[in-house]
Structure 1
Amino acid sequence: MIAIFPILGQSNAVGAALDGHKVSHPRVYQWSGGAIVPAAEPLAHLPPVGFGFGTTFGALYAEKYPARQVVLVPCARSGSTLRPSRNHERFVWESGWRPPPGGANMLELAVQRTTDALAAVGKEGHVAGYLWHHGETDGLTGISRGEYARRLRAVIVTMRRVADAPFIMAQMVPEGIVDVPGRIETHHATLEVANSTPRAAFVYSPRNSFRWYKGKPDTTHFNAAGQVEIAHRLLNMLCRLEGTATDDERGRNPDLGPELRRRALHERLARRIRRVSLRP
């Protein structure tokens, strides 16, 4: 049996960690350049960048299921959005959207790559799950929670026309959510979609796992340790959806929602206080 996993989203799905290490497994491959080749970071996203969760996830899955092979399908692009907007209109996840020169319709690209990978592996292959990490850039554009949720549901529906499989969404860097009000909206929209969509799920990401870039904290991107932990949590959630999770796996994905809600409330109150203090 060959388990196929399309990896969808933006920079943290691509992988932006600069401190990663070589991860490989004899039964983990990727779809790259029209062929199935051994998987290694950076995976062949649009374009490859740094260390992500993909190959680690594939290796963990292969170890849990020794009779299966894994084919990862890299389909992510840094800075891609669900809605075209000013300065963010080249790489968009929307059916029928026509990209400008040098851009790409990310949803149609993901459909094509997944379809091609399925055809290449033949009857033994099936899509075992979709892995999604997204929301940072849309969180800067003023998109509403409702619109982001609607567009994300459309992505899930479109991908499931290729193959009906679990759709697992991972949280953005927690520290980067509370610092950007728009990301609070995309975070809660993603959580809402996960909770209301059959065979979909949401995994919370580890705190204190953002990367440092040029001596400064980058609370948009995960470091290698964060990416490895996300890989574990994605697999554990997939096992929970399939009913094969161990007791240890069930306890690995803590719910950080209440803490985020408290911090978001505190930030909104702080903004109100600042506005009042500035009034003449």
Structure 2
Amino acid sequence: MSKFALTNGDYANLITVANHAIEERLPLADSLYADVVVSVDLDENLIEKSGVETDMNDIGFDVFIIAGQSNAVGRGKPIDNILDTSSNRVFQMPSQGPDKDMVIAAIDPLVHNGKIHPGTVGFGLTFAKLYADTIPNNRQVLLVPVANGGTGFVDNQWNPGNPSFNLAVQQSNLALTYPNSKLMGILWLQGETDYKQINQYQSRLDAGLTALRNQIKEATNTPIILGMITDSSPAYTSINNIIVDTPNRLLNCAIVTNEGLSANSVNDAIHYNAVSQRILGGRYFSKYLQLTKGLCPR
């Protein structure tokens, strides 16, 4: 898979990828994703298949930010060599390592900030592959993975000006320097660390998300989809109550439920397993469609 440097002025590589993508399309309801599609009850009336006319004057990235802590990074096990394959239309901009700030293939595990756990799955790639099937062939998906395990507001990581917050802003704005790149949404999954100060979580969450919108280019009213964490403790249930109420406090937000999802094991009840992460990806996609088409109640 090709890599691009942000200094690549001629943009020829992306054009090549776009042309290649036109020839190799994957249907949304591919049998490999039947479990995901069924699990979220995707409304086919909402889905605009990507067989629309290609506009080669509008080649670029639809950018999605994935932020939060370990469940946003993805600790789901086990990885599947078929279900979790990459797509020639989905890319990532790593937050660390030798490929930091480059555009490379989006492969699980995505290169978020912090420790990488080989053989694990997150929701981001499933979301992106489903989304890619609804956009014109000249558009590609660029994920900006900036989550970091074990981070929250209480430990001064996601408040405005904190390290994880600043990295999210920096990486997102960098991704948007590509010609014709458009910020499409923020996918948020976080809260486990903040059980230590639940009474301050709501105000900190609202301030953090609002500041992300203010400091990332084009993000003033960008859609934010928030996922629920596991209900593996009473404290996490309290955190989830705050998360679920977010659309009543902030505009253009929607919630992804944790109903029916499972953790890796009894000993790892915090982290969603691989099946649940894929289902989460489908639910994020479904909620995104509903929100952007004005069908999510506030």
Q: Could you tell me the TM-score, scaled by structure 2's length?
A: 0.70
Deviation at 1:184, TM superposition (A): 2.2
Amino acid at match of 2:88: P
Report what 1:195 is aligned to.
248
Once the two structures are superposed, residues 30-79 of structure 1 have per-residue CA deviations (whole angstroms, 9 ceiling, x without a partner) of 01201111110011111332210111111110012243310000000110
Aligned residue pairs total: 221
In the alignment, is the contact (CA less than 8 A) between 1:23 and 1:56 conserved in 2?
no
Identity %: 32
Alignment of 1:91-170 (within 5 A): 92-97=157-162, 105-119=163-177, 121-122=178-179, 124-139=180-195, 141-144=196-199, 147-161=200-214, 162=216, 163-164=219-220, 165-170=222-227
Deviation at 1:217, TM superposition (A): 4.5
Question: What stretches of structure 1 move > 3 A for 4+ residues in a row?
Answer: none
Once the two structures are superposed, residues 139-194 of structure 1 have per-residue CA deviations (whole angstroms, 9 ceiling, x without a partner) of 2x1331xx2111111121111121231000011123x1xxx232122111112223
Once the two structures are superposed, residues 191-233 of structure 1 have per-residue CA deviations (whole angstroms, 9 ceiling, x without a partner) of 2223321101111024242112xxx452211111100000001
2:125 matches 1:55: yes
Residue from 123, 128, 145 that aligns with 1:74: 145
Q: List gaps (5 residues or longer) in structure 1.
A: 98-104, 251-280
In the alignment, is the contact (CA less than 8 A) between 2:225 and 2:288 conserved in 1?
yes
Q: Helix, strand or coil: the match of 1:7?
A: strand
Amino acid at match of 1:19: P
Higher helix share: 1
Residue from 230, 251, 256 that aligns with 2:280: 230
Q: Distance in 1 between matches of 2:125 and 2:109?
A: 9
In the alignment, is the contact (CA less than 8 A) between 1:195 and 1:201 conserved in 2?
no
Amino acid at match of 1:170: G
Q: Distance in 1 between matches of 2:277 and 2:106?
A: 16
Q: Distance in 2 between matches of 1:210 and 1:128?
A: 29
Q: List gaps (5 residues or longer) in structure 2.
A: 1-59, 95-99
Q: Helix, strand or coil: the match of 1:143?
A: helix
Q: Helix, strand or coil: the match of 1:24?
A: coil
Residue from 82, 91, 105 that aligns with 1:38: 105
Report what 1:19 is aligned to.
78
Q: Distance in 1 between matches of 2:247 and 2:275?
A: 25
Q: Distance in 1 between matches of 2:123 and 2:261?
A: 17
Q: Helix, strand or coil: the match of 1:107?
A: helix
Q: Distance in 2 between matches of 1:206 and 1:16?
A: 18
